Amino acid sequence: MKRLILSSLIILTSCSTEKNELPESIDHQKENYNSSSISSNENKNETENLSPLSKSILIIENEATTAQDRQQQIDKISAISNNPDAIFYLAALYEEGVLVPISETKARQLYKQAANMDHSLSRYYYALMLIDGRGGNVNYTDAESHLLVNHSKNHVPSSYSLGYLYFIQKKHDAVIKTLEKDNNQHNEYSSYLLAVSYLELNEKTTTAIDLLQRSAKKGHQYSHLVLGDIYRNGLYQTQVNTQKSFTHLHAAAADNHPKALYDLATLSIEHLELIDNDINIAINQLKTSDKNGYPEASFELAKIYDQGDLITQDYKKAIYWYEKSASHGNNRAMYNLASIYINGDGVESSIEKAKYWLTESAKNGNNRAKSILDKTD
């Protein structure tokens, strides 16, 4: 939990927050500060040498502390208006909402206050809140300016977040400029951002694929997803490799990522040998994809039941999935519903329903539907 990481960081660095690395083990830090440890002579001596802020934090974090005593220490810290470490700790408390009522608005204000006192970690967390719009409006411009300051100081998390900020704005040149400086420093997240930016600009595609492969080996879901697409379609001068595509998409879908499930299912439908000719595997993947919010999945399911090539034809299920797809604005689903009702496929023929769906399809941009309606007017 971030609260424990932050407080331990302050104690261990004597209120210095300029270090980039956080303690490796939160649990280990908790063990160092539990009541039995503090009661030992050695730890008593260490505690006496701590700053007033660190002493207050120890009391706050101690599970044995009463609510009244904890609040008293929080009030003490709140009274320290000229110490950025104290302001930073309060901001973390309000952001986490474990020991005090959660308030992202207060957290954002406090991070900003400490950031204006040249506190690097506050500057970083304030920028993240600006990017996400937590505690206030989204403000990419201010976030960029704060992250650039930390980036110039080689604060690695800020450099990654700056790259991410450029990435979500599709400023791929800026992503590359920010992140490509030192390939050896890349984690799987920054490698992914850099790789996709290269691919978007069609630059260093071999390097990009290598970065994606390295990230995928570390379990990065989106790197697996992109590689699945590359090997499926033979992009960027790679050879089509259906088995590699399947392997990467299968890894990407491990946590039921909706697009990964959809891509995996549609690839399996094209190559049924990948799933031992068991179409139900693909159907279940599509249903989970739909359940998890991927709108294209419902249309694919509707086609399977409508066409009856891979499974027993079932117009009732086809209509269900077409209507669900239509609810997402899919004009092809609307058009196919019109076709079902005009032909009476598995239902009673209805010109009224057919015209309704044809009109909806045309409204949503289906030129074929528009042309039919124009001829009937």
**In order along the chain (377 residues), what is the average pLDDT of each group of 10 residues?**
39 33 32 42 63 91 92 92 94 94 96 97 98 97 98 94 97 96 78 97 96 96 98 97 98 97 98 97 98 97 96 96 96 96 92 95 95 84
Paired tokens of 273: 């040998």
Paired tokens of 293: 């919010």
Q: What CA–CA distance (Å, rounded) separates 314 from 346? A: 8
> What is the per-residue pLDDT for 45?
57
**Closest by CA position to 212, among listed 244, 242, 240, 170:** 244
**Closest by CA position to 304, among listed 326, 289, 286, 291:** 286
pLDDT tens figures, 6-54: 433 333 333 333 333 333 332 333 334 344 444 445 555 556 778 889 9
> What is the per-residue pLDDT for 181?
78
* Residues recorded for the chain: 377
**Closest by CA position to 158, among listed 146, 176, 140, 172:** 146
299-377 maps to CATH 1.10.357.10: no
- pTM for the whole structure: 0.81
The DSSP letter of residue 204 is: S
**In Å, how far are 39, 68, 256 from 36, measured between CA atoms?**
5, 21, 44
Tell me if 342 sits within 8 A of 349, measured CB to CB. Answer: yes
**Closest by CA position to 19, among listed 27, 3, 8, 29:** 8
Q: What CA–CA distance (Å, rounded) separates 301 from 115? A: 51
Q: What CA–CA distance (Å, rounded) separates 58 from 44? A: 12
> What is the per-residue pLDDT for 39?
46
User: In the chain, which segments carry CATH 1.25.40.10?
Assistant: 1-150, 299-377
Tell me if 111 sits within 8 A of 126, measured CB to CB. Answer: yes
> What is the per-residue pLDDT for 31?
38
Tell me if 18 sits within 8 A of 114, measured CB to CB. Answer: no
Q: With left for phi above 0 and alpha for psi between -120 and 50, is residue 133 left, alpha or beta? A: left
Q: What CA–CA distance (Å, rounded) separates 347 from 337? A: 11
> What is the per-residue pLDDT for 20?
34
User: Phi and psi at residue 162, in whole multiples of 5°?
Assistant: -65, -45
Q: Which CATH superfamily is domain 1-150 in?
A: Tetratricopeptide repeat domain (1.25.40.10)
